[in-house]
Amino acid sequence: MAGPSGTGKSSAPAELSRRSYRTVDTDDDGYAPEIGAEQLWREDPIETLLDERTGGVLETVILDRITTRTNNPFGKSDDERERILTDLATVEPLLRAGATVEIDARASLDEVVDALERIGRQITS
């Protein structure tokens, strides 16, 4: 999954994993070493993931989520929130342009994960 901070990239995979699905966190697991202020994906492992058809895109930021979430500290400072807003303006349109499916992450976590399950079933059938 890809998207700006607060779109559910951590919560939705955690719930999918709880439901016994394989998930990959591309921010961790060696896919994206942080270099300075930027975090860049390592191309080979990402290409392998895309070849396995494990990708998907969740977009829509709700800054309130970042303020209240407890599973990720990013987005608490003004600078980080500004980065999120900048990413929303510059990165989100690029993600939308390349997306095959969009999920409105303002829905409840259960609804978002249910939608991800439906997409997964369509891909594997």
Which pLDDT tens digit goes with each residue over 37-94? 666 777 777 777 666 643 333 353 457 778 888 888 888 888 988 888 888 878 888 8
Radius of gyration of the chain (CA): 14
Give 118's pLDDT tier (boundaries 50, 70, 90).
very high
Q: Are 113 and 16 in contact (CB under 8 A)?
A: yes
pTM, entire model: 0.48
Give pLDDT, residue 57: 31
Q: What is the mean pLDDT of residues 87-113?
A: 85
Per-residue pLDDT of 7-32, as tens digits, reads 777 888 888 888 777 777 776 666 77
Number of H helices, E strands in the chain: 6, 4
**Hey, which bits of 1-125 come out as E strands?**
34-35, 38-39, 58-59, 103-104
- Residue 110: how many other CB atoms lie within 10 Å: 9
Q: In degrees, to the nearest 5, what angle opens at C-alpha 5 toward C-alphas 93 and 81?
A: 100
Task: Quote the CA–CA distance of 25 and 29 in Å, as a whole number.
Answer: 6
Q: What is the mean pLDDT of residues 110-118?
A: 92
- Nearest CA to 95 out of 8, 13, 1 is that of 1
Q: What is the mean pLDDT of residues 109-121?
A: 91
